[in-house]
Amino acid sequence: MVFENKNSHWIDAYTRKFEESFKSINLLDNKKEYWRFASPLIWHDKLPIKKFQETRSSQSLKFDVTKYSFLRFNDGILDTETLKKFINENKNIEICSFKDIFLKKDHWSSLKFSKAQLKAEKSYERPLALFNGFNAGDGVFIKFKKGVKKNLHIIYEGKNEKNNCIRNLFDLEENSEIKVFEHFYGNSKYNIVSELFAADNSKLEHCKIINQDISNSVIYHFFGNCKKNSKIKTVNFSFSDNPVRNETNLYLEGTNCETTVASMGFGKKETSICDNTVFISHQEESCKSRQIIKNALKNGAKAIFQGKIFVDSKAQKTDGYQMSNGLILSDDCEFLVKPELEIYADDVVCSHGSISGTLNEDHLFYLRSRGIPLIEAQKKLIQAFYSEILDEVSEDNIVYYIQNQISEMITL
């Protein structure tokens, strides 16, 4: 441990550690398997960040305010008004901005902070998550107490020209049932780390939408530790014309966990890269994990899926599933896939597959033979391609919102 002095905060020790680790990594080393298809520099370049420009405003996502609590980040900083309102409305939830943790000598999060990230670092080093570790300017730390049910909607917006590093921590106590929807729009660049601690029997539905008007890159690390009987679902939607990397790392540390990682990306420009890098580690018996990844690509867009299922020798009766699909709408697009299974237990069912192709001509003809014009028929089939991902979302207004976004993007 680092020596104490009266000005030093418990987080400082972590910060220093992250910085040291980060500096020991050569980001130009392109031999790393983990960055085989896309260099970290894509999300960490020294290139000037694109200046703010007013883009056509996307239709906003409306939630029933009686069912949802809101938090808003503006240029990477948690808006204090929404935070105050949240505190007033939710007595059984502990919440604190990351910035304010530095003002507190003790905080419940000191027992959890970085634990999920550091566990994941053992299997691969994640330089940009390390970078976040000593650059995060704000974030939100939330403890959902035992049995709490809560729906939360977090908005990230802004127009600054900085790399916004944000750090969140979600602590779900036993039997809590939480939905978190994160929505990105505006022109900022993001490097986000969210840690999740899911206690026994807790349930999380996490859904993230990256709008098409995001004019800079986003890298989002989601590190989760899942205990007995927890059910964790994370669903990602990306419509960005810029690089997006979703890194999802879930450690299933209790028996009977169920996890789903579902992602869809719609790339319509050469500059668009949708990268899903997923690592699911089965540490205990009888856990289920599913990964469903779908990317539709046109005009030179690129998508990447690196998905690994690791099964420890203790993790008998693991049920692991992984499927990725690419819908290639023009010849100049690429969907690069690297599935991996690493299994040390013998009583295990794990399957994986990847299929890419164009729109099915017979399907198109069938729809058109009923009078549906080509573009509408394409729209229907692209929506059908994504339907499996949309089926994972429990909120109808999100489903409609996504369907509209898809529909808008096809006509573009």
Q: Which residues bind other proteins (CB under 8 A)?
A: 361-363, 365-374, 376-377, 380-381, 383-388
Q: Is the CB of 64 or the CB of 362 nearer to other proteins?
A: 362
Q: Is the CB of 82 or the CB of 325 nearer to other proteins?
A: 325
Count Cβ atoms within 10 A of the Cβ of residue 347 and give its class: 0-12 exposed, 13-18 middle, 19 or more buried.
Answer: exposed
Shortest spacing between CB 368 and other proteins, in angstroms = 4
Shortest spacing between CB 407 and other proteins, in angstroms = 12
Q: Edge to edge, what strands does the sheet with 77-78 contain?
A: 77-78, 69-74, 149-157, 177-184, 203-210, 231-238, 258-267, 288-297, 318-328, 348-357
Q: Which two tokens stand for residue 369?
A: 């033979």
Q: Is the CB of 309 or the CB of 393 nearer to other proteins?
A: 393
d(CA 180, CA 69): 10
Distances (CA, A) of 109 to 22, 112, 403: 23, 5, 38
Q: Which SS3 state, helix, strand or coil, does residue 390 take?
A: helix
Q: Is the CB of 320 or the CB of 326 nearer to other proteins?
A: 326
Length of the chain equals: 412
Q: Which SS3 state, helix, strand or coil, does residue 83 take?
A: helix
d(CA 266, CA 13): 40
Q: Which two tokens stand for residue 379?
A: 């729209």
> How do beta strands 140-144 and 93-97 pair?
antiparallel
Q: Is the CB of 101 or the CB of 264 nearer to other proteins?
A: 264
Shortest spacing between CB 391 and other proteins, in angstroms = 9
Q: Is the CB of 42 or the CB of 399 nearer to other proteins?
A: 399
Interaxial angle between packed helices 396-411 and 374-390, expressed in degrees from 0 to 180 and rounded to the nearest 10: 150
Amino acid at 74: N
Please name the helix (run of DSSP H) or strand (run of DSSP E) that holds residue 290, with its range, or none. Answer: strand 288-297
Q: Which SS3 state, helix, strand or coil, does residue 411 take?
A: helix
Alpha helices in 90-156 (DSSP H): 98-101, 115-121, 127-135
Q: Is the CB of 48 or the CB of 371 nearer to other proteins?
A: 371
Q: Is the CB of 348 or the CB of 359 nearer to other proteins?
A: 359
Please name the helix (run of DSSP H) or strand (run of DSSP E) that holds residue 192, with its range, or none. Answer: strand 189-198
Shortest spacing between CB 373 and other proteins, in angstroms = 5
Q: Which SS3 state, helix, strand or coil, does residue 273 take?
A: strand
Shortest spacing between CB 224 and other proteins, in angstroms = 29
Shortest spacing between CB 235 and other proteins, in angstroms = 16
Q: Is the CB of 303 or the CB of 382 nearer to other proteins?
A: 382
Rounded to a whole number, what is the largest CA-CA distance in the chain? 77
Shortest spacing between CB 366 and other proteins, in angstroms = 6
Shortest spacing between CB 328 and other proteins, in angstroms = 17
Shortest spacing between CB 242 and other proteins, in angstroms = 28
Shortest spacing between CB 364 and other proteins, in angstroms = 9
Distances (CA, A) of 194 to 295, 346, 367: 24, 33, 43
Q: Is the CB of 273 or the CB of 296 nearer to other proteins?
A: 296
